[in-house]
Structure 1
Amino acid sequence: MTQEKRPMKVLLAAPRGFCAGVDRAIQIVEQAITKFGTPVYVRHEIVHNRHVVERLERIGAIFVDELDEAPVDRPVVFSAHGVPKSVPEEARRREMIYIDATCPLVSKVHVEAQRHHAAGMEIVLIGHAGHPEVVGTLGQLPEGAITLVETVGDAEKFEPKDPARIAFATQTTLSVDDTAEIVAVLQRRFPGIAAPHKEDICYATTNRQAAVKTMAEPCDVVLVIGSETSSNSKRLVEVALRAGARKAVLVEDASAVDWSLLETAQTVGVTAGASAPEQLVEDLIAAIGARYDTAVEELRVTDENVVFKLPRLVA
């Protein structure tokens, strides 16, 4: 006689998973392989997800850390996170075919930083040191033109050259609430600080965090599918805990779940970062269903219909 499964309510956040920038970046690599044949080289992980990277490797992509690891006679794609200006300059110098898969919303931050710099402004960038997106944004301008601020404490200590001529920008994948706290400090200290025309934190990050906030409070555990290197995925864990979830953990996929976390749980929340394929969500729901008598309810805060065009070279 089979043992009866214990009931488990599963709350599924929506939107979740791939955003338009990630979708575009993956399509760029796929289209480059179709157009130019294999191999196509990609500088850095195209997006921060091992499953995506491994699938693209299987169809002919080779991932490298730096441009000099790619031969000059094969195309190279730059990742969705953006690159310092020196990278396309080097590609042109080496006469390489290169395709820039930088998310258009990251490119918007680059353009605004350049515009402020051209106007003689000092720029504060709110972000995480060492993240590829931050490295790319810092690399748009001469060294020293942008000051990186990571915390409220950094914002309190920041001393500009001229308090009347400063502007701020942000990484696109930050915690909306944490960033608001940092911006509040900067605006209190420097009332004239120039803000982005439109918020830099991207629509996908904002929507995924809003969905988790809606879902978290009744959850005993929230499982966030995403990679350890994914900034927006890690922020979802923090947002879930802040919004009232008893526990929240980042998992690469269903195989990485510590099932002991669910032993006493009655309600589990599931979401996925912007670079995590929907298949991983489906696999996780199936894995929960194999262990429990699940009732799945989707909590949708908004619909997303953003689509970004592909670059001409692969369109």
Structure 2
Amino acid sequence: MGQKVFDSGRNGFYRDTVRDFDIVFKDKQTFMGSSHYHPYFEICCVKNGQCRIFVEHKLFVVRKGEIVILPPSILHRNQYEQKSPAERINLSFTREFIEPVLNCIMPDFLEKVMVLGKSGFCGSERERFFGLLDLLLRERQKGDFYGEMKVYGLLLGLFSMIGENFLNAKNGENGENAESSENFWKEEPLDPAAAGVQEAAKFIFENYADRITLEKAAEVAGMCPTYFSRKFSEVTGYGFKEYLTNVRLKHSQEMLVSGTLTVTQIAFACGFGDANYFGDAFRKHTGCSPREFRKKWKK
């Protein structure tokens, strides 16, 4: 089942390669990914090294043995470090693929557990979790007669570990992975400068329709504009204007798909002061005009 998806790294609108389920191992990744979002769930699992994922307006530093859960339609960008190349496994699946199985066991699992956040596994739990991921990778490559049954079984094993970790953290229980689980689905503790940048990003994300200047965002972060501009890029991977435009464009795409407003009305509703500028920015970002995007999605 192909999924229609927008991804700025693949020239806008395309037919996604993830059908129902996919798992990919990415070795020694050091380049910074493009900002994007997709219509399926994704679990980013770091096997070695570390990476930073800036999700909407939250920063997650993901270290060895940790995972980040990304629900559908969440704007995010990955950053990697030259000194500590990240080895990670990306697990993706659609709601339509997994719900028939989950509905027989725990119908509300996706809503209660598969929400934005970070968790981690230590010791034998880490070995078990990544062992299941390795088995999934092998089953994906084999594709034998019983492959789909095995995939569902392994996925349920992974979900049970994630759910147990969530329950332990929620109940404040101690255990082998207690240190990691206390941060489960919580924001990353940040130094003062990064915390200020995150606060400014949250302000932008929640007030994207207003006129937001660099000076105003810097004031929210408690910094001078020049220092804020540099720190914002270091922490998030975005330039200030780039991030503001990405947030506005994401909301405009959602309005084009689900609403009835005209393109000009959407431009102003998303904070673009000029409809022509909105059209140019949209085309540069997606490879098509807002009207073409709306027509393609409807088809």
Larger % of helix: which?
Answer: 2
Structure showing greater radius of gyration is: 1
Task: Return the structure number with greater relative CO, CA threshold 8 A, min gap 6.
Answer: 1
Question: Is TM > 0.5 for Structure 1 vs Structure 2?
Answer: no
